[in-house]
Amino acid sequence: MSNLRTTPLLELKNISKSFGRVHSLRGINMDVRPGEVLGLLGDNGAGKSTLIKVFAGVHQPTGGQILWNGEQTILDTPRAAMAKGISVVYQDLGIIPLLSIYRNFFLGREEDVSVKLPGFMYLKKREMRETARKALSQLGIHITDVDLTVARLSGGERQSIAIARAVHFQSKLLILDEPTAALSLKETAKVLSYVREAKRQGVGVVLITHNIAHAYEVCDRFTVLYHGRVAETTERENVTEQELANLINTGTRASQKLAV
Partner 1 sequence: MALDVHQTSAGDGEVAAISDKRPEKTFIDKLMSRPESGVIIAAIAVYLFFSAFAPHFFSERVSSNILLSSSTLGLIAVGVAVLMIAGQFDLSVGSVYGLSAGLVILSINAGIPAAVVLPLILVVGLIIGAINGYLVTKLGIHSLIITLGGLMFYRGVLLAITEGFPIRLQTPDAFLRAFDFNWHGIPGPFFWFLLLVVIFAFVLTCTRFGNWLFATGGSPEAARGMGVPSERVQITAFALTSMMACLAGYVSVARFSSVDALRGQGFELEAVLAVVVGGASLNGGYGSIAGAALGVLIIGMIQQGLLLMGISVYWYQAGIGLLLIVAAVVNQRVRIRNGV
Applying the rule CB under 8 A, the residues between 65 and 94 that interact with partner 1 are 77-79, 82, 88, 90, 93-94
Question: Nearest-5° angle of CA 245, CA 66, CA 104?
Answer: 80
Stretch that binds partner 1, among 101-109, 196-204, 227-235, 249-257 (CB under 8 A): 101-109
Mapped onto helix, strand or coil, the DSSP state of residue 70 is: coil
Q: Of residues 76, 112, 145, 235, which one binds partner 1 by CB under 8 A?
A: 145
Compute the least distance from the CB of residue 155 to partner 1, in Å: 8
User: What is the CA angle 200-52-77, rounded to 5?
Assistant: 105
Among 55, 68, 106, 222, binds partner 1 (CB under 8 A): 106
The residues, ordered by sequence, that sit 6+ positions from 89 with a Cβ below 8 Å of its Cβ are 159, 162, 163, 166, 174, 175, 176, 177, 179
Pairing of strands 86-89, 114-117: unpaired
Q: Which residues pair with 121 in a beta bridge?
A: 116
> Please, which residues bridge with residue 116 across strands?
121
Relative orientation angle of helices 125-138 and 155-168, to the nearest 10 degrees? 100
163: Cβ contacts below 8 Å, ≥ 6 apart: 89, 139, 174, 176, 179, 191, 194, 195, 198
Instruction: Return the number of the residue (74 or 96) whose C-beta is nearest partner 1.
Output: 96
**Of the residues 19, 45, 96, 254, which one makes contact with partner 1 according to CB under 8 A:** 96
Q: Pick out residues in 16-35 that bind partner 1 (CB under 8 A).
A: none
Q: Which is closer to partner 1, CB of 110 or CB of 220?
A: 110
Among 70, 76, 122, 240, binds partner 1 (CB under 8 A): 122
Q: Which of residues 177-206 bind partner 1 (CB under 8 A)?
A: 186-187, 190
Name the residues that contact partner 1, by CB under 8 A.
56, 58, 77-79, 82, 88, 90, 93-99, 103, 106-110, 114, 120-123, 125, 140-145, 148-149, 151-157, 160, 186-187, 190
